Amino acid sequence: MTKPDTCIVCGGALEAHFPEVTDPLTGEVFAVVICARCGLGHTSPQPDDVGQYYGPRYYGNRHGLTLRHCISRRLGFIAAALPGGSSRRLLDIGCADGSFLLAARQGGWDVAGTELDPRTARQENLDVREDITELFKGIPFDCITMWHTLEHMRTIPDTLNNVARLLKPEGRLIIAVPDFGGWQAVFFGPKWLHVDVPRHLYHFTAGSLRHALAASGFTIERSWHQEFEYDLLGWSQSALNYIMPETNVFFDVLTGKRGKAGGFARLYACLLGLLLTLLALPALALSTLLGRGGTLIVVAAPQNLPDKQ
């Protein structure tokens, strides 16, 4: 375990923010410290081998019944970022089982991906590598996507600099991260569903994401402030985390995971979770309208990219 003492992006001093955050999978306790200069949150301590904190209960069917809607919406983000164009080459960093890549390929994209364990995606005849550096000698990409993956990366500057090397000058980078500056993070604090330590090594606000991108030669062109199922469940499950002794039971049920809760607790979580989800709809709409949703999605354009040689 390593405790960060300065910001990974700007080198600023780190201050206490959430002194105790419990990992819902292992029960271990971590903290979140925040940069006084750029606002980037850092999980502390950071495991030397974070891979041990992933597993079947983490992966599972994370989008459940909303998978098709999620993919369709993400393809819409790409269409908004890159309207038209004859060359269509796309890289998805952290592509999981490849569901998004398959849909993009059906939409006419020439696709590739990266994933720590690429075996499932490769079964679909997808070009998926274990490390982004394996793609340096290939054709650059028109679009690179990172759907809730940047917060998992050990070294943010290295990751974004590598992305810059792989992107065409006229290409676009699309990033989605939990919004650590949104209302959900403020209201629910360490019990917010999307804190998810220690798998989320970093925690982005709009300002800290802008700063990290600028340091690697990117400027943000446009942004959105909601991914429906992430945001809606962020309200209801986070509220449940204050009510129930077991963590993320409603989330486990919706995504098909067994979890540790018994049958009665799961039934109680479902009934109360559905009620809270309905009650959360006005908060979701208002937070989205005011740019304070639970998810931040940005389109970034390369400017003054690092030398690609």
The identity of residue 88, as a single letter, is R
pLDDT for res 306: 45
φ and ψ at 300, to 5 degrees? Answer: -120, 140
Neighbours of 47 (CB within 10 A): 17
Query: What is the C-alpha separation between 215 and 267, in angstroms, rounded?
Result: 48
| Residue 114 contacts residue 142 (beta carbons within 8 Å) | no
pLDDT of 51 above 90 = no
Q: Which sequence spans correspond to the domains of the chain?
A: 62-190+201-309
pLDDT for res 56: 57
pLDDT of 62 above 70 = no
Angle ∠(211,213,216) on CA atoms, nearest 5: 110
Mean pLDDT computed over 167-193: 96
Helices (H), the chain: 67-81, 99-106, 119-122, 156-166, 183-188, 206-215, 228-243, 249-254, 263-289
Query: What is the C-alpha separation between 281 and 232, in angstroms, rounded?
Result: 7
Task: At 87, list the tokens.
Answer: 């060359």
Confidence bin at 309 (pLDDT 50/70/90): very low
- CB neighbour burial string for 103-113, b if at least 16 within 10 angstroms, e if fewer: bbbeeebebbb
pLDDT of 297 above 80 = yes
Mean residue pLDDT of the chain comes to 91
Q: What is the CATH number of domain 62-190+201-309?
A: 3.40.50.150
Q: Which residue has the tokens 């393809």?
A: 75
Confidence bin at 289 (pLDDT 50/70/90): very high
pTM exceeds 0.85: yes
| Residue 275 contacts residue 193 (beta carbons within 8 Å) | no
pLDDT tens sequence across 215-237: 999 999 999 999 988 899 999 99
pLDDT for res 307: 46
Q: Residue 78 region, left (φ>0) first, then alpha (ψ -120 to 50), else beta?
A: alpha
Beta bridge partners of 266: none
The identity of residue 91, as a single letter, is L
pLDDT for res 195: 96
Query: What is the C-alpha separation between 204 and 177, in angstroms, rounded?
Result: 7
Task: At 24, list the tokens.
Answer: 């819902």
Query: What is the C-alpha separation between 204 and 164, in angstroms, rounded?
Result: 20
Flag the least confident range among 42-51, 169-178, 183-192, 300-309. Answer: 300-309
pLDDT for res 1: 87
Mean pLDDT computed over 123-129: 94
